Structure formats: C-alpha cells, structure tokens
Structure 1
C-alpha cells in the first residue's frame, strides 16, 4: 500500500514506508522531550520543523518555507512554541499582496507562505520569542533583488520597533515589526499602525493614527462566558453504532423545535439579526441528549468563525430567539444576559472587525478564520465596566441599528452604517471625544486597504 504523504518524486512503496517509519521514530523522540512540532491538522509541512530541529546543530540556522497558517493557525501552535523556546533571532517573512500565487515564495505551491529563519540556541541559551516580522510588498523578482532585500533586512534594529523597509534610492519594498512570535497578526501587513492598534486593544489601550491614545475597557471574550459546542458534538455521525451528536441537521419544517444557525449566506447576513437556516431533528433514542445539548449551547449570540471579509458583513450576530450554532456560527453564552447587546454591537464596529482579523488565520485571501477553541482569545469590549445607564444605552443603540444593513466588511471605508455604529459605540456609549473620529477614519481606511482584507476584489478602497 502506498503511503500518500511520501508518494511522489518516483519513490517506491518500500522507500515510502521507510520514510514514514523514520518520521514516526523522530516524532516519538521529540514528543518524549516535549519538543514535537508536527500536528496532523497542519499536515506534513509541520513535520519538516521536526526534521529540521533534529538536524540543526546548536548555533546553526534553521530556514523553512511554510504555509502562512504557521503564524497564527491553532494547529501550528506547537511549532511556534518550539521556535519560541529553542531558537533566537527569529525572522518571519511574508508577502503583503492580494493574489494567491503572489503571496508564495515557492514557484509551484500557489498558496500563501511564510519564510521562517532562526538560530538554534546553544547550551545555556534560551529563546525569547522576540521576532522580526518582515512584510514584503512583492516577491523578489531576481536573485539580485533578493540579495538587496536580505541586506536591507539585516540592517534593521530592534530599537525602531516598526517602520518601512527601503532599498536603493529610497524605494519602499515592505514594512517590518518587532513583536512576540505569538502576535501572528503582524505578518502580511502593509500598515504597521494596525499592529499598534490591535496589540494595544488587547491590553486596554486604544492607539490610533496621528498619535491618538487613550484607555479602553477590553478583555478576552472567554473571560465573559463560554463558547458553545463543537459542531460534531451536535450533529456528528454514527460511529460503531453510537451517534456522536444527537441531531441530524435538516431544512426548516414549519416552526422548529430546535432551530439552528449553521452555515453562511452573505445576503441573509447584512443585519445584526440573522434568522436560523436549519433545524435539528433528534436521532432515535437521543431525546435526553438533545435536551442536554440545547440547554448547554443554545443562545441568541453567535460569532463568525469563517469570516469572508470581502463578502460578509458581520463578526457576530443575534438570532431572533435562542438557536443552536453550527460550523460557521457557533454559540457564545455570556455569563450575564445583559452583556449580549454590548458584545454584538462592539463586534461589528471597525475595531471589532480588526480584533477578529488580527487573531484569525489568513491563509486564503480576503478571509480570516478561527477555530472554536481560539474564539475565547478574541479581544472585545469589557461590558463589566459599563454602568447600568450604559447597558440601557446599548439597548437603545441596538434598537436603532437592528434593522440596518451593513456592506461587506472590507467596504467599511464607504459604509455609512458602519461609521454610524462606530460613532455610537465610541462617542455616545463610551464617552470618548469626537476628535477620535478622524484618526479612526484613517485606521478604518488603512484596514480596508490591507490585501488580506479586500483580497483584490473590485470593491477595495482606491489608494
């Protein structure tokens, strides 16, 4: 039997088995020492880090071309942890362009990639995770240009934490940011001010262009409640005679007993309130489990996991009544019901979109994806800091916007409804001065101009 992971390049079945067995032995040794980077969901590419780690001597240089998902994908977390602890002088190079093949360093992959270079620590040394993120505007077109790019990068000093990269007669070739490796949002970024804003939001500081800075009550979503169930625990099929999930998902038949919001339909998702798109039919013998799932996960508040930014409008939404969330729209159950409206309003501001995009995996153009286990990391407005009067005001704001329609998120630069919501939340609800609106407008336009936001779509901002 061929071993698919090692098939190709004319290898025999015996050679494929030998390579597979050798990799298993290497991974077993690394796992025993707590260094295993490979992950099945990340594919064989993550195992190249294991092989390189074994073969690189202390003080040696590791250099790999990896899928762009390396910088923020949940399946690559072990890889990032290994590099953070066992390597120093980390550099991650990506390409901030909007064509799928234009974001690749390889000639034949046709997918967004990251070039990772690092020095393996010697005995007694310990990695810090401090990383130089280099974001090129295009792939070097020749060896001579690549040499000049490398020379320009080698001159960058951590004293200047971010800026533009120049070669020749002040030609701008990209941007750079010094940041921890776990700030994967710094990759493929054309405007470094977006990094300052996103990182600042996570620590309760709002930093905007033109030097604007103020405090803002934020927290991680997971602090405020719990995410709903994984979709397979709801509708997972039958294995060895036992259904993983108590429901089968079917089209809505009349008035549903167990309504579901499962998949995306961009045209149905222009407003803050989104109707269910299916219902759960209880499998035979699963009545008690169905009730348990409903009581555990059903809510009105749902967060987007697969955000096609250049066609979809919402980071979060409400269903008219409680519903079970699915693959695209899992539930989030706040610890207090009164936090629901502030959360859904914040999530759909320009800053809410930025926070989601920042931690999402951007392997595909114009799209940011999260797993349900990553959702609790999302930076949100902290409703615990709102007074009862502000909570009531959030209800009024929701009433004013609940029937309004938003443009796709990448068109926020020309979306009057989105701009009005930004003003309502930041100025009216949070009592920030109106002077915030001008630098916020600049930030909004900068975000919309990011290739990973518009994906090259004709509706992108003209810059």
Structure 2
C-alpha cells in the first residue's frame, strides 16, 4: 500500500533527492498503532530518495527531518505510540533529534474525548505523554501534535472498524467506563454531523473523512478498510465523497483469501478487507452535483504475504493502471508469466453505488453483471435488452421493516413488537402473527415455503400500536437479506399464507399476485442472482448480506409493465416450478430446475435470440466459479471440477 500511495510520479527526481524532503512534505497516520504503516511509508520515501542519488549523509538528514516533524502519528494507546516513536528512531543512525509529531491523544474523560477524531474540530490535539516533545501550543503550556487542514502529502492508515451495533460498541476501549463510552459516542456524532459519514459504518468511515480534511490537493491517501466499505449501504455516503473528492481511485481486495488460510490484512479483525488508494482532487463539483468518476477495482488471486512480494505486486498494479487508463476497460495484472489478478474500470456516477466489480476474478463477468443493472445482457459479442425498464425493488414493492422493529426470538434481548417462537408443524404455520423469520436450507428448497415462527405478546414486549403497525407489512412474497450461496436455494420465496418478515427474510407487498410470482421467478434465476450479487456485501465468502435500505435499491425489471399474456404465463410457470426441489445457489450450473426457471424468465422478459440461453448458461457457470459464491464449499467445488475439465458448461 505504501508503494501505491507514495508514487514516484508525485515528485520530480530532484525533489526525491532532496535531503530536506520531510521538511517540505508530510506523512501521517492518525491511528498509528505501533507504527507499521509509518515505517512502511518512511522506507518507501527513503528508497525513492536513494534511487534519486541519495547518499549516507543525505539519508541521515532525511531521517532526522522525518522524526522531527515530517512524520505525524497519533494513537490513543500510549504503549503503541511509544513503540511507533522508538521504532522510527531505530531506523536512523543514532543522531539526536528535537521535537517530534508522534503523540498519545486523549480518549474518554468528562468531555468524551475521541482521540484523533478531535482533529475535525481543531488543528492541534494535546499530547498526553512525553512520547515526543511535540510542537508547543500558543501559550507554551502544553505539548500538542499539530495537523493543519489541507497540509498532508501522504496518509497511510488502518483505522479502527468498531461500531455500535449488535451488542458491540464504538469506543469499547479498556479502562473506559460506560458513562465515558457513551460520552465518546455523543462527541463522535457531534464531530462528524456535517461530514460524509454514516455512523452505522463505524469509526473507519470517520477516519477516512478526516483524511480528506487534512490531505492537501494532489495529496494521496492509502487505507486498509473492511470490504463492506465497497458494498454496504451504510458506506454509500462515504463512497460518494470518495468519488467526488478524489481521483485515481484504486480499490484492491483478494478473491481467494480463504484458500491461503489468511483471512484479513489486519492482525485482529478476522474479516475480509480491502485497500483504498486515491488522490485528492484540486477541485470538485458543487455539493450535491454528481459527476463521473472511475474506480479501478483490483482483484488479486492470492493474498500478498511477504514484503518483497508486495513491492512486485504494487509495480504490476501500477503498470496495469497505465494500460487500462490508456486503452482498456479491464487488464490482466501479471508477474512474469503468471496472472496475479485483474483490474477493471468501474465508471460510477459519483452516487455512492456499490463498487460491484471488486472481488470478482473474471473481469468479463463483472462487466456483464454491471450491464445487467441497466437491463442489458452483454457478454462476448452477444447483446440483448430486457423488454421492460429496469427499476428497483423499492419502486416496485412496498418493502417491509427490519426485524428489530418486528420483534425478537424468545430468550433474546427484548426488542420490537413481538416475541417469536418456532412453529411446530406446517399446520401451526397458518394463523395470525406468523412470520418467515429464518432461512432453513433443509426445508426451503422449493419456491413455495411455510412460515417459520409465530408471534407472542407477553407483558412488557411491544404495544398494541406497534403490533398493528407490523401486521400492515404482511405478505406472501419475501426476499432474503442474508443469502448463503453455499447452502440456500432461494433468494425469494412465496408463502401460501401471509406473514411478516424476520432476521433473514423481508416482506415485499404488491396488489397483483401475478407480479409476486413473476418476481419470485426473476429473483431465483441466474439473472436475479447476478443482480443481487452486485449489490450485496461480500464481507464473508459464500454469503451476500443486504441491509433493508440497500435491499430497496436492488435493481429489478418493472414486472408490472410486462404484457398481460406474458405475466400470466410467468405466473403459470411459477405454479409449475414452485413445487420442484432446487439445489443450493452455488450449484446452479448443475440444477435442471434452475435451468427451467431461467428459460421461464427469458420468455417473460422477451429476451429472444438463439445465443441468449447459452450466454446466460455461461454467465451462470462463471458466477458459480467465483470464490465469493462457492465459498470453498467442498460439494460445490467437487461439482465444478468435471465442468472445468470440459472447459465449458
């Protein structure tokens, strides 16, 4: 990441060779931990300095300038800040140095201090401990680490991801009381209220917004982020900010991380992650004005585990970037004769939409899936358009609420209108206040399913008004918010009796039963899977999670505009296929019933042409081969092997 962020082209040969470089340019990490990224950044700059003619004497001057203020680092952990300072000093030659800009910043206390996030409101934050001498505040009484707005050349950061959700808490830091923690959360919300940040995204989004504020025009940022930053609805406002405020945006992830046994880039997250690199624009559009922005999505086949390997991969990515900017939409990232990954240009409208090509190994599949969002099947030289306009689930249906409003399972923390218990039989699934709460891969193999839970109204849970409000969202059509491609067969299900949604299933309402059935066909087809796959989060291999607000924005055809005859034929096809057992989604390429669903959907959408069924089958096969779909499921991989040996489905 340091090599990509601190690009050689940013300065001239003479500037890189200047031993006072760090007195004119700044490198920062405002969540520096033990200084890993700051050391990497320093190594990158010192290497470029050497290549520009630097010698031992100039390297000594370079290091002194870096330690005396050219490198800025802050952390809420005093031990980590100490290690940062000592490790940076150890990179030098034993020379004495003066003031530094490495500091320990306050978190908690009566005012709910938020560490480096205080830089949103000020340009100096007090250094609590003599980690470094710092620069003196105006009154000379306190040491402070000083960070001016629009002053930083290079920011490298792996910020904390924590958020207040699902029993977890932002600022869940050892030594803080609950009162202090809540004060920190209130202060945090106050600091970012005018920033491009949704607090549900967690602290990482706030640090990215802070980097934008401190980065000078033409400066570069490099971040380690959760992969949800590329897909989650809670990150949409931050993605929009990135697209509008930055250029030369590169997002990097690994498609096959599980194969190596290494789950994440960070030491303690255990989750799928990405790298983000970008250049702050000198100018940007007026607030609220969309523009076009390219995001270069890099998907590597394997994790980069060694420092030397990282440098080689970085140079390969830079080479591919030059090629793709000059003449191509996608390009292979090669190291010698081997393909290390691929890069794909994702042209955004600067609207914060998911960066769906990221994490996709097959570039042509990524481009085909993206075209499908506009209602076009485009692959190789085959092109066909859906006969009705594309819209969104939220435009076509009334979308039900999140499960937190509906209720909770018995024995869990009380929330929502109802307490739910499992039904004991299909007969028990019929009645008032039933819900399709959870997914069950053993029983939900057919497009028609039974409701799974029944709601109770014990004392202290909900109210009559809340329960009546939730009943207004009952439906017979449901959509899966948490889709496990490896085990679940259904993205959409129809019930014979109306019910509410739950933690996995969200209700969709429409007055025309034929539209409900037509949508169930669409959602469970290859085309429906591809569209959902572009929108859902891929933070866990083999899964696709979607928040309710994001679900409403998932594209789909305007099925209510299909000619009456085709709509009735689609409803009849659903009735015929809804009682036939389906395989898990990741095994679709071997599923004869899924092929019948695809055929019915092509007919419903008037997608004609001898090559279209074959094109859809090819897209299906490529999709099933994506690690984010098969999740290294043994059965799925075993079924792919015979097909791979024949090259084509």
Q: TM-score, normalised by structure 2?
A: 0.64
Kept in 1, the 8 Å contact 2:106–2:115? The answer is no
Which sits farther off after the overlay, 440-449 or 119-128?
Answer: 119-128
Deviation of the 1:107 alpha carbon: 5.0
Unaligned runs of 5+ in 2: 1-74, 83-103, 123-188, 645-649
Deviation of the 1:327 alpha carbon: 1.3
Q: 2:315 aligned to 151, 156, 174, which one? A: 151
Q: 1:177 and 2:344 equivalent? A: yes
Q: 1:91 and 2:184 equivalent? A: no
Partner of 1:16: 107
Q: 1:121 aligned to 271, 281, 286, which one? A: 281
Residue-by-residue CA offset, 1:99-138 (whole Å, 9 max, x unaligned): 0854533455432111100011225678843111111111
Q: 1:384 and 2:557 equivalent? A: no
Q: 1:278 and 2:369 equivalent? A: no
Secondary structure in structure 1 of the residue aligned to 2:632? coil
The 2-side partners of 1:446 and 1:8 are apart by 50
Q: 1:444 and 2:620 equivalent? A: yes
Partner of 1:423: 599
Deviation of the 1:152 alpha carbon: 2.3
Partner of 1:240: none
Secondary structure in structure 2 of the residue aligned to 1:325? coil
Deviation of the 1:246 alpha carbon: 2.9
The 2-side partners of 1:8 and 1:299 are apart by 55
Q: 1:166 and 2:334 equivalent? A: yes
Q: 1:139 aligned to 299, 303, 310, which one? A: 303
Secondary structure in structure 2 of the residue aligned to 1:352? helix
The 1-side partners of 2:190 and 2:208 are apart by 13
The 1-side partners of 2:526 and 2:78 are apart by 46
Paired positions, count = 451
Which sits farther off after the overlay, 227-236 or 366-375?
Answer: 227-236
Residue-by-residue CA offset, 1:18-41 (whole Å, 9 max, x unaligned): 794344534568978976244443
The 2-side partners of 1:128 and 1:173 are apart by 29
Q: 2:294 aligned to 118, 130, 136, which one? A: 130
Higher RCO (Cα < 8 Å, 6 or more apart): 1
The 1-side partners of 2:256 and 2:417 are apart by 44
The 1-side partners of 2:569 and 2:452 are apart by 30
Which sits farther off after the overlay, 397-406 or 382-391?
Answer: 382-391
The 2-side partners of 1:8 and 1:338 are apart by 64
Secondary structure in structure 2 of the residue aligned to 1:219? strand
The 1-side partners of 2:378 and 2:537 are apart by 23
Alignment of 1:210-225 (within 5 A): 210-216=380-386, 217=388, 218-225=390-397
Kept in 2, the 8 Å contact 1:259–1:278? The answer is yes
Deviation of the 1:290 alpha carbon: 2.5
Unaligned runs of 5+ in 1: 238-242
Partner of 1:55: 214
Q: Structure 2 vs 1, CA of residues 54 and 292 (structure 1 numbering), >3 Å: closer, same or farther? A: closer
Q: CA RMSD in A?
A: 2.9
Deviation of the 1:303 alpha carbon: 0.2
Partner of 2:502: 326
Residue-by-residue CA offset, 1:235-261 (whole Å, 9 max, x unaligned): 269xxxxx9633221233745321111
Q: 1:228 aligned to 378, 387, 400, which one? A: 400
The 2-side partners of 1:420 and 1:163 are apart by 35
Q: 1:301 and 2:477 equivalent? A: yes
Kept in 2, the 8 Å contact 1:202–1:379? The answer is yes
The 2-side partners of 1:26 and 1:259 are apart by 50
Q: Which has the larger radius of gyration?
A: 2
